[in-house]
Amino acid sequence: EDQVTQSPEALRLQEGESSSLNCSYTVSGLRGLFWYRQDPGKGPEFLFTLYSAGEEKEKERLKATLTKKESFLHITAPKPEDSATYLCAVQADSVGGADGLTFGKGTHLIIQP
């Protein structure tokens, strides 16, 4: 069974204080690892897809990296508008027909001014 574990569950940072969110996964064969951002009362918003160990993707203050067992979302010099819940999800090779994802429970990030 595919599993995704995110840590920490919640993280409070000061504005400008860089940090990393962790996503550990077990999957029969990784087809892709996804990061999403979710604001309160809204649906998740796609950020990145990573496919193989060693891959990195960047978007503004966010950088996602991937190893064979985990992914990190690095947040550099965050601003209050980066406050959100960040979700990690994996897609396994074994899923046929459509691309169902298995999600972690998310990290609730708060950036204080």
Partner 1 sequence: DVKVTQSSRYLVKRTGEKVFLECVQDMDHENMFWYRQDPGLGLRLIYFSYDVKMKEKGDIPEGYSVSREKKERFSLILESASTNQTSMYLCASSSPYHFSGVHYGYTFGSGTRLTVV
Binding residues (CB under 8 A) for partner 1: these are 31-32, 34, 36, 41-46, 49, 51, 87, 89, 91, 97-106
- Cβ closer to partner 1: 32 or 78? 32
- Cβ closer to partner 1: 27 or 89? 89
The nearest distance, CB 89 to partner 1, in angstroms, is 8
- Cβ closer to partner 1: 46 or 81? 46
Three-state secondary structure along 18-82? CEEEEEEEECCCEEEEEEEEECCCCCCEEEEEECCCCCEEEECCEEEEECCCEEEEEECCCCHHH
Q: Report the distance separating Cα 55 and Cα 52, nearest Å.
A: 6
The nearest distance, CB 36 to partner 1, in angstroms, is 8
